[in-house]
Structure 1
Amino acid sequence: MTGVAGGAAGPLLLGVRHHGPGSARAVGAVLDAYEPGVVLIEGPPEADAVAAAAGDDGMVPPVALLAHAVDEPGRAAFWPLAEFSPEWVAIRWAVRRGVPVRFIDLPAAHTLAMSEGEQETVPGGTDGGGAAGDADRDPDSGPGSDSGPDPDSGPESASEGGSGVRLDPLAALAEAAGYDDPERWWEDAVEHRRGAAPGADPYEPFVALGEAMAELRAVHGAGGHQRDLVREAHMRLRLREARKEFGDAATAVVCGAWHVPALTQAATVTADRRALKGLPKVKAEVTWVPWTHRRLARRSGYGAGIASPGWYRHLFTAPDRPVERWMTDVAGLLRAQDHQVSSAHLIEAVRLAETLATLRGRPLAGLTETTDAVRSVLCEGSDVPLELIRDRLVVGDVLGEVPEGGPAVPLQRDLARCQRAVRLKPSAAERELDLDLRKETDAARSRLLHRLRLLGIGWGEPARSRSGSTGTFRESWRLRWEPELSVRVAEAGIWGTTVREAATAKARSRAVEPGTALAEITALAELCLLARLPDALPVVMRVLADRAALESDVGHLARALPALVRTLRYGDVRGTDAGALAEVAGGMAERVRVGLPPACAGLDDEGACEMRGHLDAAHQAVNLLARDVPTADGAAAPDAGGAAAPDTEGGAAGNLLDRWRTVLRTLAGRDRVPGLLRGRCARLLLDDGQLADAEAERLVGLALSPGTPPAEAAAWIEGFLAGGGMLLVHDERLLALVDRWLTGVPADAFTDVLPLLRRTFAEYEAGVRRTLGELVRRGPAGEGSRRGSGESAGLPGFGAGLEVRRADAVLETVRLLLGTASAGDGTGAANGSHEREGARV
């Protein structure tokens, strides 16, 4: 007898569901009982050469077989395996006993060669809800991504014939058993089985499941999964080879349950070979890479994903009393987050979960019952801690490991060496990393992360520092290792065998690519300096100088300048020579300065808004450049926040910063320049201390005069006030001018002005808007009271007098903060003593 009825009379056909703990335990029991001479696994045959690595103690699941085209590494596919995957159990069992392991699915050489539409038929189809070997395409290269098809639908090309409606085997069997939920039926029938009864044949469950699938395929045929017919033809050929070599009784096959009837089908060798004839083919390589529980989860878009890998791992590894052990893990997590969970809570939660399972007719409390019990007892009905449990335990942040001696592309080996050298271990959990570049280890970490960014390996992304520091010696990163980054590493291998060599080669190539924008080249120069690539920087600088000399668009120059100036500031901290950039940066800044006035004239609203962004970027860059680097004429620039420098005519004398401020003054008073830009130039001068208060008031008065159209005045206000509202909070004269102008806007023009004003004030923080509203409601203080002191002072946002009783309440806290409180201090002192204490503070 072959296949579906009795292991002794034919090969052991073990139909499983991928990532199923019940299936995994059952497979282990059958292999222990029958001890076959060869184990066949549904997976790419190219993996035969790397199967032995699964027996290494350093191989820690979840891991995945990664297949990629040698000539096009971006074309790749994954075959993930978890600790509770039946295929992983079978591979480990065979390798550790010296039993041959062979993979029998369609070769990766054919899978990767298929067109993008055909590639949607990832190996594994629906195999009882997601079989072993489902390939997960690189998310940026087509199907199998996070936006891909439904995980349990067995994605296939819609052009493969038929109606396009595909059968879900689990749903059909669950409906026949009277279940409305296929997942719940599979858990009750398979996953929650704790082993066969004493003396029972462990192979019997596989016989029953094979017969059920045979009935389904007798009625539905391929069930809409036409690509499976090709794969199954290859499986039968490999099965025949194994049976001929080892015999029927010594052959075990671990495959998706959906394929079991096809492996017993009476098909000739000629017919199977004809089905495989003419398939496209590429040269492919296969290796092991780490995987994560999150990428096993259904929400990740993985074709055979499961919603709860952490729960399934728990079911597989718990030796007994899985519900009690799960509740203990939940309690530990909640207690770590300062939730009050007692032993009584645990006992009640376990009882409730078991009671719910009994009421629902389930053999064991499943994830649904335990979740309901946890929500009710441990979380007191709240879903907030429940989301934490789902994230940390139900899914989890487990990241697998692959031993150093395992097969890998040379770049991957060097990356692993670099990670060890800087003591930066990949992790599936997102974490933030703050670096102090004055420390050698942190500087080496920074260089590695920047080199990987240049190669397109996004392990780390720059983040805003939590400390708020803007110093050049600090960096903050957000790190998270995703399995698909292994594809990026393989793809980057074409540039070199080490991270440094590959980053250098790619930087040179990007610099000389035709059509690269000037801003992209300056960003590349910055990245080369951050990554310390001295062999690439001269090439990039030569191209940058040539492009900058030919560029005539002020917007392009202004957009490229900030990255170049930032690069100049890194030299001292990183120990690199950035002097070659100074001449290019200075020349580019001068060209922006000269070309800015004509570029700002005659712009429409959209053009003015875009130019404002360029103006802000160029202003910040010029301030940094003038402060940190001597100008071309040899004069040392003053600090941007220093005293006002005397005006210079046309840049004939003085330094770059003076000449830049002269341009800003020119733009601020030129009528042909849009109001948005004139207002912005006035604000930049005011912030730099180059515009006296009286002059600022005069400019505001002119802009808001009755002769100025309301829309033009509103645009001027938007440019002047953008970037923060503290100017209005502290300068009541300007607030009064804006208030008087706004109240005088005609009714027919107010609706046109309102959107501009709302956009301006929406940028302010809530506290600033509240203070401004209070000031407008009360009316700005008069000139005399504003300069007063003591109780008569009219402070922005506050009343005219001091409420002594309310002030008394904070003095004790102030003394504690200042360290002046003594053991005998009390809070009942007389008002006079409090006032004296307050005066000293």
Structure 2
Amino acid sequence: MTQRPPGPPAPGPGPLLLGVRHHGPGSARGVAAALAAARPAAVLIEGPPEADALLALAADPAMRPPVALLAHVTDEPGRSAFWPLADFSPEWVALRWALRHGVPVRFIDLPAAHSLARPVPAEPEHPRADTAGDVPVRTDPLAVLARTAGYDDAERWWEDVVEHRRAADADPYAPFEALAEAMTALRETEDEAASREGDGEEERDLTREAYMRLAVRAARREFGDGVAVVCGAWHVPALRRRVTVAADRARLKGLPKARVEITWVPWTNRRLARAGGYGAGIESPGWYGHLFRAADRPVERWLTKVAGLLREDGRLVSPAHVIEAVRLADTLAALRGRPLPGLTETQDAVRAVMCDGSEVPLALIRDRLVVGDALGEVPDTAPAVPLQRDLTRLQRGLRLKPEAAEREREFDLRKDTDSARSGLLHRLRLLGVDWGEPSPGRMGTGTFREKWTLRWDPELSVRVAEAGVWGTTVLGAATAKASADAVSARSLAEVTALAERCLLAGLADALPVVMRVLADRAALGTDVGQLAQALPALVRSVRYGDVRGTDTAALTEVAAGLAARVFVGLPPACGSLDDEAAAVMRGRLDAVHGAVGLLAETLETSAEGRGKDLRARWYGVLGTLAARDTVPGGIRGRAARILLDDGELPEERAALLMGLALSPGTGPREAAAWIDGFVGGGSGGGMLLVHDERLLALVDGWLRTVPPDAFTDVLPLLRRTFSVFDPGVRRTLGELVGRPGSPGSAPGRTGAPPTGFGPGPDPVRADAALPVLALLLGAPAPATGTPRPEEAPV
């Protein structure tokens, strides 16, 4: 073993066991001090041994934490596990110390080949609690120690006991000995209870610890007793326990094993803050990183950072605020009996001094500083699947850097670079790698712009590994995946949606397969509802292809044929439907109408007269639906409204259809459904009633004839219909109906103008408004007898 410099001797014979809190900056500083004092001949770290060949990459200047080791089953990438490391993680500090000093370093935890070969056990519904409270010992032993010490917050206890311990002449081994002693007491209670209950988690820990003991024995045979072991404090009592080699080997015998691959991947502070999934459960990684990096005056430096952030946000924060916040934090720590201010005291001080008691700035501070947006980096020499390498190349070529923070990007599809960026994001979404989320408001048909929300999560590395089975490049993998999805699609709507995604992603090689499947499904499909559901996506595909310069002639022909089949089958399919089915069909009717308009525009530019013919046939279908008595009232009313808006239904004919629908022979519920279809659904029906007094009189007259016993049945539907109108429209309708002489209030006097309206314009009243308009427009005053506003008497 290398000779130690003068300093405190290592505690006792055998290996130096440094029990740590994972991702604890106090433990990280303690590990650095202990290793500097002990100068071990080898360093053993809790982690997967398969990563030993990758440890040298930690010394690469391009490696920037937070990072994580990713291990996954070779043939099943979805079965994976992460080992995240930050710059304040004790394991990372030990790894970098060993590499810097040329000391051998190894991982000694149970191999990932064994841990990933076993199914992940379910969480227990009622975890066992310790005797000091209701906190499960194994879930968070530090919470048990904190409660025993009289603290209600484990983080605050850890800060007081470990993080604020900064004496330069302190024994570097004392914290580890004290923590090992406490864990030994907890393990005695926990292991005794687990042995009685047959805890599966206890069995997993015992298996891991058996492997660790064997690895430590092998290192001692090679390097002597001068080895240092950095592991979770929970495992220290087990590593000190005397167990025979035969017993440890017997426990490991027969473990399942899988073939795994392992590499380094970037990690984020936000993932460190997650307690579940692949997170580390660190509530404040940004704060912990600051405590680790701040050599002195951590509170003053932290509050200076906070002040800078608030100034960037446009808030007035001066150096005097920082001074007062530091004083208040120190005072709060003294009042609360803490050795130094912690995160709680600094937040309270910031709230009172810099934020005027508001919680809103604190949310920004927590997001940007307490948690942080840090995203690690991994050198190019790290192993990666071919698909990941191709994705990295594309990201650099398109200058589309992965970022942990959510960021909005807008692409102009007329530019080659932006079009390529859009295609890459769409291909990744097809592969299940949701790096970007398109904004629906800017993804409309025919637009040349797309707006995306981008955020790179570490779990996407697993998705990329899973997608690697489809190909070695993003383009090849997306093409293969789209072709396979087309063949396995269960409905025509799925195939049309896939065709749209292929055009968005620019997958020209996948389109022939998708088109063949689409043509077969469309020819054999007999369900008009499914055909109507599939048509809009197919037409959008045609339009998107037109925007991106893609040849969609074959797709246009399929869409035209599908539309023709919908026209023939829609009227029979709309007959004798119940209320629920009628509501669904009404939505499909609106979707088909929009699709027909887009398809007609495309056909008008590609073939003479085809677009007009398509519109004419569709209007004929709507006319049939509007006049057929067997069609539900909501569909009839909606068909009539579409024709009226497009100028294909005269106003007199619309009034006649409404009169028939609201006649005494029609049931109240059916009549109310017709009104809902005609003026409901946010289609501007309120303004139609405001400007067409005949339709308003028909609706009002029908309402006054509804029997009282039936009125309670139709009231919910009517309230839903009129609730979508703007408040101003509803108010205007109420005034029109309530005025004397209005069409609604006096059925026998429909020819009389409403109160406030005359047969023609009133010149006197009009002249009174002209001077005001002239003043607003800066024009000369009109030659009327009315004085200008500034000349008028008060």
Q: What is the rounded CA distance, in whole Å, between the counterparts of 1:775 and 1:5 in structure 2?
A: 96
1:415 maps to 391
Q: What is the rounded CA distance, in whole Å, between the counterparts of 1:835 and 1:566 in structure 2?
A: 58
Q: What is the rounded CA distance, in whole Å, between the counterparts of 1:164 and 1:203 in structure 2?
A: 28
The answer as to whether partners of 1:434 and 1:465 remain within 8 angstroms in 2 is no
Are positions 1:565 and 2:569 aligned together? no
Q: What is the rounded CA distance, in whole Å, between the counterparts of 2:119 and 2:276 in structure 1?
A: 23
The answer as to whether partners of 1:310 and 1:393 remain within 8 angstroms in 2 is yes
The answer as to whether partners of 2:438 and 2:450 remain within 8 angstroms in 1 is yes
Are positions 1:726 and 2:669 aligned together? no
Greater alpha carbon shift after TM alignment, 698-707 vs 586-595 = 698-707
Greater alpha carbon shift after TM alignment, 390-399 vs 479-488 = 390-399
8, 13, 19: which one aligns with 1:9: 13
* Distance change (3 Å), C-alpha of 1:597 and 1:320: same
* Distance change (3 Å), C-alpha of 1:280 and 1:771: farther
Offset from partner CA, 1:344-400 (integer Å, 9 cap, x none): 222222211111111111111111111111222222222222222222221122211
The answer as to whether partners of 1:725 and 1:768 remain within 8 angstroms in 2 is no
Q: What is the rounded CA distance, in whole Å, between the counterparts of 1:602 and 1:109 in structure 2?
A: 61
* Distance change (3 Å), C-alpha of 1:403 and 1:682: same
Correspondences of 1:533-548 after superposition (within 5 Å) = 533-548=507-522
1:459 maps to 435
Correspondences of 1:20-99 after superposition (within 5 Å) = 20-99=24-103
- 1:149 deviation in Å? 11
1:212 maps to 182
468, 474, 478: which one aligns with 1:493: 468
Q: What is the rounded CA distance, in whole Å, between the counterparts of 1:68 and 1:369 in structure 2?
A: 42
2:748 maps to none
* Distance change (3 Å), C-alpha of 1:670 and 1:541: same
- 1:286 deviation in Å? 0.8
Correspondences of 1:379-398 after superposition (within 5 Å) = 379-398=355-374
TM-score by structure 1 length? Answer: 0.84
Q: What is the rounded CA distance, in whole Å, between the counterparts of 1:438 and 1:789 in structure 2?
A: 52
1:425 maps to 401
DSSP 3-state at the match of 2:143: helix
- 1:294 deviation in Å? 1.1
Correspondences of 1:304-315 after superposition (within 5 Å) = 304-315=280-291
The answer as to whether partners of 2:768 and 2:786 remain within 8 angstroms in 1 is no
435, 439, 442: which one aligns with 2:411: 435
Offset from partner CA, 1:270-308 (integer Å, 9 cap, x none): 111111122221111111111111111146655641111
Correspondences of 1:639-788 after superposition (within 5 Å) = 655-724=613-682, 726-729=684-687, 730-733=690-693, 734-766=695-727, 768-769=729-730, 771-773=732-734, 775-776=736-737, 783=753
- 1:87 deviation in Å? 0.9
Offset from partner CA, 1:12-68 (integer Å, 9 cap, x none): 211111111111111112222222222211111111121111111111111111111
> What letter matches 1:258 in structure 2?
W
1:197 maps to 168
2:197 maps to none
- 1:788 deviation in Å? 6.4
1:173 maps to 145
Q: What is the rounded CA distance, in whole Å, between the counterparts of 2:668 and 2:65 in structure 1?
A: 67
DSSP 3-state at the match of 1:234: helix
DSSP 3-state at the match of 1:221: helix
1:373 maps to 349
Greater alpha carbon shift after TM alignment, 486-495 vs 401-410 = 401-410
> What letter matches 1:205 in structure 2?
P
* Distance change (3 Å), C-alpha of 1:385 and 1:408: same
> What letter matches 1:657 in structure 2?
R
The answer as to whether partners of 1:586 and 1:632 remain within 8 angstroms in 2 is no
Are positions 1:575 and 2:552 aligned together? no
The answer as to whether partners of 1:166 and 1:223 remain within 8 angstroms in 2 is no
* Distance change (3 Å), C-alpha of 1:811 and 1:322: farther
Q: What is the rounded CA distance, in whole Å, between the counterparts of 1:603 and 1:487 in structure 2?
A: 47
- 1:320 deviation in Å? 2.0
2:448 maps to 473
The answer as to whether partners of 2:633 and 2:677 remain within 8 angstroms in 1 is yes
Are positions 1:186 and 2:158 aligned together? yes
- 1:692 deviation in Å? 2.1
Q: What is the rounded CA distance, in whole Å, between the counterparts of 2:9 and 2:757 in structure 1?
A: 97
Correspondences of 1:256-335 after superposition (within 5 Å) = 256-298=232-274, 301-302=277-278, 304-335=280-311
Q: What is the rounded CA distance, in whole Å, between the counterparts of 1:323 and 1:741 in structure 2?
A: 74
Q: What is the rounded CA distance, in whole Å, between the counterparts of 2:141 and 2:610 in structure 1?
A: 78
DSSP 3-state at the match of 2:327: helix
* Distance change (3 Å), C-alpha of 1:486 and 1:791: farther
Q: What is the rounded CA distance, in whole Å, between the counterparts of 1:802 and 1:247 in structure 2?
A: 107
Q: What is the rounded CA distance, in whole Å, between the counterparts of 1:414 and 1:273 in structure 2?
A: 43
Q: What is the rounded CA distance, in whole Å, between the counterparts of 1:477 and 1:252 in structure 2?
A: 49
- 1:324 deviation in Å? 1.6
> What letter matches 1:95 in structure 2?
L
The answer as to whether partners of 2:10 and 2:38 remain within 8 angstroms in 1 is no
Are positions 1:613 and 2:587 aligned together? yes
Offset from partner CA, 1:802-829 (integer Å, 9 cap, x none): 9969x95x987x65xxxx69xxx99xxx
* Distance change (3 Å), C-alpha of 1:149 and 1:678: farther
The answer as to whether partners of 2:427 and 2:475 remain within 8 angstroms in 1 is yes
The answer as to whether partners of 1:726 and 1:768 remain within 8 angstroms in 2 is no
> What letter matches 1:190 in structure 2?
V
The alignment-based identity, stated in percent, is 66
DSSP 3-state at the match of 2:611: coil
> What letter matches 1:213 in structure 2?
M
2:331 maps to 355
1:510 maps to 485
Q: What is the rounded CA distance, in whole Å, between the counterparts of 1:776 and 1:48 in structure 2?
A: 83
The answer as to whether partners of 1:5 and 1:207 remain within 8 angstroms in 2 is no
Q: What is the rounded CA distance, in whole Å, between the counterparts of 1:385 and 1:775 in structure 2?
A: 49
- 1:747 deviation in Å? 2.1
Offset from partner CA, 1:488-527 (integer Å, 9 cap, x none): 00000000111001001111111112x5211111111111
* Distance change (3 Å), C-alpha of 1:81 and 1:767: farther
Q: What is the rounded CA distance, in whole Å, between the counterparts of 1:396 and 1:419 in structure 2?
A: 23
Q: What is the rounded CA distance, in whole Å, between the counterparts of 2:151 and 2:656 in structure 1?
A: 80
* Distance change (3 Å), C-alpha of 1:153 and 1:109: farther
The answer as to whether partners of 2:574 and 2:585 remain within 8 angstroms in 1 is yes
Unaligned runs of 5+ in 1: 122-147, 155-162, 639-654, 794-799, 837-841
Q: What is the rounded CA distance, in whole Å, between the counterparts of 2:767 and 2:717 in structure 1?
A: 38
Offset from partner CA, 1:710-747 (integer Å, 9 cap, x none): 11111111111233263322424233433333344322
> What letter matches 2:509 in structure 1?
D
The answer as to whether partners of 2:117 and 2:256 remain within 8 angstroms in 1 is yes
DSSP 3-state at the match of 2:316: coil
- 1:222 deviation in Å? 6.8
DSSP 3-state at the match of 1:637: helix
Unaligned runs of 5+ in 2: 1-7, 195-200, 744-751
DSSP 3-state at the match of 1:535: coil
DSSP 3-state at the match of 2:188: helix
> What letter matches 2:632 in structure 1?
P
Aligned residues: 757
TM-score by structure 2 length? Answer: 0.89
Q: What is the rounded CA distance, in whole Å, between the counterparts of 1:320 and 1:689 in structure 2?
A: 78
* Distance change (3 Å), C-alpha of 1:80 and 1:811: farther
